[in-house]
């Protein structure tokens, strides 16, 4: 990786301590850990920060419900996160709690400085407040009278508060996002933020709560009757933890942040609140804010109220840490939503880990034990006297994969990088079938050829194990040890060197790295005989003049969707296959618009789709909906949405 960064600073959001951690927390933290580990293995100075957000109304309410103080609530709940991170082999360099003095002191210093410069002022406020999101909204922002973010009930509030002059930075922020395309990733999230900023006048941000309503927070230094708004407090953790205002050398070493990893539900706070706060403070902007998607159950977002939240501890206990880490990284395309089911987990585990990686490792190690007396064989000399074309090709494929991984990691294509490594693993298996060392071993004088074959396979396996180490550190360390390597940790800068494994070194048998999993079959209940029902009512038909009823119109559900991917369908000149984001799910559409739009023109567009159309197949490709377009003569144009409306909005 010739263009590796001078340093790498990655953060997760800090997590609320009002409840136990779930798969969303685990995923973001594992993702950050994989990125940090990858850079460390390249000898890039790396800092990885995570922590907990311990102030605010949700924490206070959880404490009241549990009959304890807010600090006790924090102290009891934070342990669950810290214990889970240990179980998940998370290698964070720091864990910040917003109740720590090192954080609170700097937050108050920042507030005082901004107040002294008239960036913060006091005013009367009347509007609507969402407890769950801990945010104020104007009435025009509400959706059917509810919170536009979570959809829950909001409370009417009238009170005096302090406000940050966020509105004065609206035009600056628009310009900054447009001139720094790497700032918000993926690109369609930048378009989402720009749509929000360009469609409405940005309001000043309320940064306080009166103690009469909320006592649990950091006191405003200029008014002890108020505490700091939880988001203004929490966002500052990214700089207080690395020495802002307390250790200038440390702060200069790590800031600006290389990557803030967040879930898409906190996009606005990180791409509007945070950059304007930093601008007012005179602090450089982070290099990138990357918003990943949600984990769904089927097509439904995980939710405690629905009882479909995955408990990471249970998955670890059942299937192991590394298998859990592998599934999360391999299954989600960053930026898009992904589905988690136990059936999908077992299917990928058995296919990728048990059948491919585990099987290849066992074959190579078993054959070295059998044909080379349990010692790493030696590669043949250049003039070995036998054809090494297959061996050379396999090694070059492994080297090519190692080189391709670097740009994929830089572009946050972690699922693709894992898939690439698994393709290299499968090539080792194909190579062994073609070279058939078990047959060679029966031929007299073939010892050198058998040794060269198995050494080549082992070297390629070493490369694959090194590339998968950030994802599965425990299992890949065990595999490296089995290959006779003294250093359990790889060095990614040395992957292209052939001959790293030491001939004559003792190999070992780690057993089945990934034993195959068989899901228990659920007992089928006897099918009940259906009861006789009354004859169904006849469906309403359009009237003779072609008019339809209001009820018929309301049966069609139209929703906004953002186009994530687009490609042509082989053999179909008019058809494009689209992957679209409907807010709470990802779908595939097939549309006859290829004569009017190039695939690359569609990426990031917000379109309108019929969301409740029965799936159908066009040219063998499933389409899970229909997009709307207008046509006249030979012209066709998509129905698109302007402004800040994101995916998943109902079109009425």
- Backbone phi, psi, residue 362, to 5°: -65, -40
Question: What's the pLDDT band for 567 if we cut at 50, 70, 90?
Answer: confident
Instruction: State the helix-helix crossing angle for 170-179 and 274-281, rounded to 10 degrees.
Output: 110
The rounded distance, in Å, linking the Cα atoms of 306 and 79 is: 26
User: Which tokens go with 171?
Assistant: 């035009």
**CA distances (Å), origin 626, targets 36, 560, 585, 607, 620:** 41, 12, 15, 10, 16
* Per-residue pLDDT at 490 exceeds 60: yes
d(CA 13, CA 541) in angstroms, rounded, equals 53
Which residue has 């408990």 as its token pair?
A: 311
- Give CA 235 to chain center in angstroms: 19
pLDDT at position 614: 86
Give the pair of three-digit tokens for residue 91: 């290698």
- Of 80-94, 101-115, 244-258, 606-620, the range with the lowest mean pLDDT is 606-620
Mean pLDDT of 20-44: 95
Q: Give the pLDDT confidence score for residue 354 in this predicted structure.
A: 95
Q: Which residue has the tokens 């005179």?
A: 282
Let me know: does 442 contact 348? Beta carbons within 8 Å.
Answer: no
513-530 per-position pLDDT tens digit: 999 998 766 554 554 555
DSSP-derived letter for residue 494 is: G
Kindly state the average pLDDT of the residues 573-577: 86
pLDDT score of 551: 59
| Orientation of helix 23-40 relative to helix 70-87, angle to 10° | 50
Report CA dihedral (318, 319, 320, 321) to the nearest 10 degrees: -100
What is the Cβ-side half-sphere exposure of residue 630, based on CA atoms within 13 angstroms?
3
Least confident window among 149-163, 240-254, 280-294, 395-409 = 149-163
141: nearest Cα among 268, 229, 233: 268
Domains 341-494 and 550-638 share a fold: no
Q: Residue 10: what pLDDT?
A: 98
Q: Which residue has the tokens 């203004």?
A: 232
Instruction: Taking residues 96-107, report their average pLDDT.
Output: 98
Average pLDDT over the chain, rounded to an integer:
89
Nearest in space to 372 (alpha carbons), one of 490, 501, 248: 501
Residue 4 DSSP symbol: -
Per cent of the chain over pLDDT 70 is: 90
pLDDT at 2 over 60: no
pLDDT for the residue 524: 47
**pLDDT per residue as tens digits for the range 173-192:** 999 999 999 999 999 999 99
Q: Looking at per-residue confidence, does 165 or 637 come out higher?
A: 165
CATH number of 550-638: 2.40.50.140
Q: What angle do CA 333, 416, 42 make, to 5 degrees?
A: 115
Q: Which regions of 17-134 does DSSP assign to beta strands (E)? A: 46-53, 94-97, 120-130
Between CA 50 and CA 54 the distance in angstroms is 13
What's the confidence (pLDDT) of residue 544?
A: 54
Long-range contacts of 585-589 (CB under 8 A, 24+ apart): 585/296, 585/299, 585/300, 585/337, 586/293, 586/336, 586/337, 586/338, 587/561, 587/624, 587/625, 588/621, 588/622, 588/623, 588/624, 589/623, 589/624, 589/625, 589/626, 589/627
Mean pLDDT over residues 375-387, rounded?
Answer: 89
CA distances to 111, 224, 463 from 119, rounded to whole Å, are: 9, 19, 54
Least confident of 157-161, 343-347, 462-466, 604-608: 604-608
pLDDT at 644 over 50: no
Domain at 341-494: CATH architecture: Orthogonal Bundle (1.10)
Instruction: Give dist(CA 472, CA 605) in Å, integer.
Output: 37
Examine the pLDDT at 633 and tell me if it is beyond 80.
no
Query: Is 60 exceeded by the pLDDT of residue 539?
Result: no
Residue 449 confidence class, pLDDT cut points 50, 70, 90: very high
Q: Which pLDDT band, with edges at 50, 70 and 90, does 578 fall under? A: confident
- Long-range (24+ apart) CB contacts under 8 A made by 101-106 are 102/240, 102/241, 102/246, 103/236, 103/237, 103/240, 103/241, 104/218, 105/245, 105/246, 106/236, 106/239, 106/240, 106/244, 106/245, 106/246
% of the chain surpassing 90 pLDDT: 65
What's the burial of 276, exposed, middle or buried (CB within 10 Å: 0-12/13-18/19+)?
A: buried
Indicate the range of 3-17, 340-354, 362-376, 596-610 predicted with least confidence. Answer: 596-610
Residues linked to residue 559 through DSSP beta bridges, in sequence order: 609, 650
Polymer length in residues for the chain: 652
pLDDT at residue 98, as a whole number: 97
Segments making up each domain of the chain, as ranges: 341-494, 550-638
CB 11 within 8 A of CB 289: no
């Amino acid at each position: 990786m010739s263009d590796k960064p001078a340093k790498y600073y990655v953060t997760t959001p800090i997590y609320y301590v009002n409840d136990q951690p779930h798969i969303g927390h685990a995923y973001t933290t594992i993702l950050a850990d994989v990125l940090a580990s990858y850079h460390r293995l390249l000898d890039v100075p790396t800092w990885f920060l995570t922590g907990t957000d311990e102030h605010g109304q949700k924490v206070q309410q959880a404490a009241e419900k549990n009959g304890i103080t807010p600090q006790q609530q924090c102290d009891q709940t934070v342990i669950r996160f810290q214990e889970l991170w240990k179980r998940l082999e998370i290698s964070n360099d720091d864990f910040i709690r917003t109740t720590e003095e090192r954080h609170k002191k700097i937050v108050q210093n920042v507030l005082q400085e901004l107040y002294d410069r008239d960036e913060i002022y006091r005013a009367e406020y009347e509007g609507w407040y969402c407890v769950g999101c801990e945010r104020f909204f104007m009435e025009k922002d509400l959706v059917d009278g509810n919170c536009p973010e979570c959809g829950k009930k909001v409370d009417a509030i009238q009170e005096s508060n302090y406000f940050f002059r966020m509105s004065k930075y609206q035009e600056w922020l628009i310009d900054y996002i447009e001139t720094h395309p790497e700032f918000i990733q993926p690109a369609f999230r930048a378009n989402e933020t720009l749509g929000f900023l360009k469609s409405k006048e940005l309001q000043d941000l309320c940064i306080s709560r009166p103690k009469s309503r909320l006592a649990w927070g950091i006191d405003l230094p200029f008014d002890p009757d108020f505490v700091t708004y939880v988001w203004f407090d929490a966002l500052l953790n990214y700089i207080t933890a690395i020495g802002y205002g307390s250790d200038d050398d440390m702060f200069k070493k790590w800031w600006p942040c290389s990557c803030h990893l967040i879930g898409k539900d906190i996009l606005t706070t990180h791409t509007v609140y945070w950059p304007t706060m930093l601008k007012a403070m005179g602090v450089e902007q982070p290099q990138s804010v990357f918003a990943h998607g949600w984990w769904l159950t089927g097509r439904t977002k995980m939710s405690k109220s629905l009882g479909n939240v995955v408990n990471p501890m249970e998955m670890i206990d059942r299937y192991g840490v590394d298998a859990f880490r592998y599934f999360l990284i391999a299954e989600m395309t960053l930026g898009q939503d992904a589905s988690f089911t136990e059936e999908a987990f077992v299917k990928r585990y058995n296919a990728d880990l048990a059948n491919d990686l585990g099987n290849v490792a066992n074959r190579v190690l078993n054959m070295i034990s059998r044909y080379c007396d349990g010692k790493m064989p030696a590669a043949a000399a250049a003039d070995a006297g036998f054809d090494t074309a297959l061996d050379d090709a396999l090694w070059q494929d492994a080297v090519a994969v190692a080189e391709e991984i670097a740009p994929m990691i830089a572009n946050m294509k972690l699922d693709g990088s894992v898939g690439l490594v698994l393709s290299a693993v499968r090539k080792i298996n194909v190579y062994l079938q073609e070279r058939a060392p078990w047959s060679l071993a029966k031929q007299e004088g073939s010892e050198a050829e058998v040794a060269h074959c198995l050494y080549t396979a082992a070297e390629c396996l070493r490369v694959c194990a090194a590339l998968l180490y950030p994802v599965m550190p425990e299992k890949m360390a065990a595999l490296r040890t089995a290959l006779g390597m003294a250093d359990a940790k790889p060095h990614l800068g040395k992957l292209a060197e052939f001959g790293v494994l030491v001939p004559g070194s003792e190999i070992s048998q780690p057993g089945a790295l990934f034993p195959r999993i068989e899901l228990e079959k659920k007992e089928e209940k006897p099918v009940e005989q259906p009861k006789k029902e009354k004859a169904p009512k006849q469906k309403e038909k359009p009237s003779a003049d072609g008019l339809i009823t209001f009820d018929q119109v309301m049966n069609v559900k139209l929703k906004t969707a953002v186009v994530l991917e687009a490609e042509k369908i082989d053999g179909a000149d008019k058809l494009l296959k689209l992957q679209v984001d409907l807010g709470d799910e990802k779908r595939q559409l097939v549309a006859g618009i290829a004569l009017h739009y190039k695939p690359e023109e569609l990426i990031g567009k917000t379109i309108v789709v019929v969301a409740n159309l029965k799936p159908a197949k066009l040219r063998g490709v499933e389409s899970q909906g229909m997009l709307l377009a207008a046509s006249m003569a030979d012209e066709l144009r998509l129905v698109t949405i302007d402004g800040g409306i994101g995916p998943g909005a109902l079109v009425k």
